[in-house]
Amino acid sequence: MSDQRLATGWVRTRSAASIGALLALLAAASYATVNALLRSVAADVDPFAGSLIRQIPLLVIAMAALIILRPAALRPRSVDFIGPKMVIVLMVAGVVSFLVGNVFLFSGLNWVGLAVATAASQGGIVLGGTLVSALVLREPPTRWQLVGVIVVAVGLAVVASPGFGNVQAGLLAVIGFLLSLAAGVCYTISNAASRTVQRRPRTFITALAMTNLGGIIALTIAVAVRSGGRFDLVYSALTTSQILVLILAGAVNAVALASITLAVRFTTVTAVSALSSLVIVFGIIIAWLVFHENIAVAVIVGAAIIIVGVVIAQVRPRAAAAVDAPDLDFPLEINHSADAIQVMEEGRK
């Protein structure tokens, strides 16, 4: 009887792990699709206006969840209220992620293409996660995380190397690469701030809604300032197909966020993080097949090195491995544990 129970538990664990792996793969494919959709319109759409439209689907979903669920974390009279300070922190995090980060990535996709921008932003998430964790959250990285970061840095240098071919084209390529890298760092900074709130139970929807609201407000102000308040001129310059592509990118981004959130309920953080890094592979494949980008050998080699670095950074000390099970009541994008890995991998919103 005991053996039968063990066998049943093993089967359930394997089934859950398979579901988690499929969800993580769906998230990676979805993030790559988002970048591809943005890449298709990046050359013709203002990055601020495009980022604003892209954010609308996720804002609608988050606000609908707030209205329906009425979370205690946002009710001032509730003992679970996160407080006005934390609300402001979340909204500022939204500005960093959805205004600065998305605009940087939008520009990077236009200047260096899908393959390089995807690799650079993923590398920025890893590097930024380690820096933020060590300097701001006071969570020193482990030895394996440091090794992983060094490997990622080497991969980034290899990815960027084709941009130094000639001075004029090389300058634009380097700027685009740096903007994509900075986008990943911005996502990490934003999610580190969000994580300080999400350490409390049942605050995921609150954090998601407030960061989106902060980003939408900032993007609206930016578009208004840049256009002199003439929103009609900004959006009349967009075609119906471009607007639909941007809205679709936002909807697919919501699918990616939901997938990565659910994935850690079924499998380990290490597995989810490693599979999520395949967004680089999907990005290169789409860039080659759909956009007919000329993928340099250095970009492929560098992307492979970055993926190796991401996987190395997931290695945990044996003592920590036993407590690495995800908390089913705490649906963060990656994990609730206080370490650099979660900050690294939460970053693509």
Interatomic CA distance for residues 79 and 69, integer angstroms: 17
Helix axis angle for 279-289 and 2-41, nearest 10°, is 40
Q: What is the pLDDT of residue 322?
A: 44
- Of 344, 81, 85, which is closest to residue 202 (Cα–Cα)? 81
- Residue environment code for 205-225, b if the CB has 16+ CB neighbours within 10 A, otherwise e: bbbbbbbbbbbbebbeebbee
> How many folded domains does the chain comprise?
1
Closest CA to 41 of 347, 250, 295, 299: 250
Question: Which of helix, strand or coil describes residue 76?
Answer: coil
Q: What pLDDT score does 132 carry?
A: 78
Residue 333: predicted pLDDT: 34
Rounded Cα–Cα distance for residues 68 and 251 (Å): 20
Whether the CB-CB separation of 293 and 115 falls below 8 Å is answered with yes
Written as one string, the DSSP assignment of 317-338 is: -HHHHTT----TT---SS--SS
Distances (CA, A) of 108 to 35, 118, 179: 11, 9, 6
| pLDDT value of position 218 | 96
Domain that holds residue 255: 2-345
pTM value is 0.78
Query: Token pair of 152, please?
Result: 């990622």
What tokens does 129 get? 């996660």
Which pLDDT score, from 0 to 100, does residue 8 have? 53
Half-sphere exposure of 260 (CA within 13 A, CB side): 28
Is 302:155 a contact under the CB 8 Å cutoff?
yes
Cα(246)–Cα(76) distance, rounded to whole angstroms? 35
pLDDT of residue 252: 95
**Rounded CA separation 303/293 (Å):** 15
Which residue, 275, 309, 342, 290, is CA-closest to 115?
290
The confidence score (pLDDT) of residue 328 equals 35
Mark the ranges of the chain whose per-residue pLDDT is less than 50. Answer: 1, 7, 10-11, 166-168, 320-347
| pLDDT score, position 48 | 94
- Cβ–Cβ < 8 Å for 120, 160: yes
